Amino acid sequence: MLAEFSIVPLGAGNSISSHVARILKIVDASGMPYKINPMGTVVEGSWSDIMKLIKKCHDAILNTESRIITTISIDDRKGKSNRIDKKVESVEHKLGKLLKK
C-alpha cells in the first residue's frame, strides 16, 4: 500500500519547513520506504504500519500547534510491492525517457 500524506499547521506562518523536518525525522526512523515531494510524503507499507506512522507524525505536530490539517491519499493494490519506485519506472518506460525528480 502507498499513502501520501501532508500535515499543515494552521497559523504557523509562511514557512513550515521546521515542522516538515520534525515529521521527516519520524518517518525516516520508522524504517519504512518513503519519498518526499514538495507537497507531501509518500510511504509504503501495510495499512496498520502506515496509519500508526501518520498518527505519530500528526500527534507530534499537534503537541506544539493548536490546529493542523492532515491529508491522506491511499493507493492500495494487492500482490504488488516496491510500488514507491515501480509506479514511476512504469510511466518512464512507457514514455521512453526518465522524468525529472
**pTM for this model (two decimals):** 0.89
* CATH number, domain 2-95: 3.30.70.930
pLDDT in tens, 37-61: 999 999 999 999 999 999 999 999 9
41-45, 75-79, 80-84: range with highest mean pLDDT: 41-45
Q: Locate 13 and state its grid cell.
A: 506562518
Q: Locate 95 and state its grid cell.
A: 514514455
Give the three-state DSSP class for 38. coil
Show me where the domains of the chain are located.
2-95
Question: What are the phi and psi torsion angles at 24 (to 5°)?
Answer: -70, -25
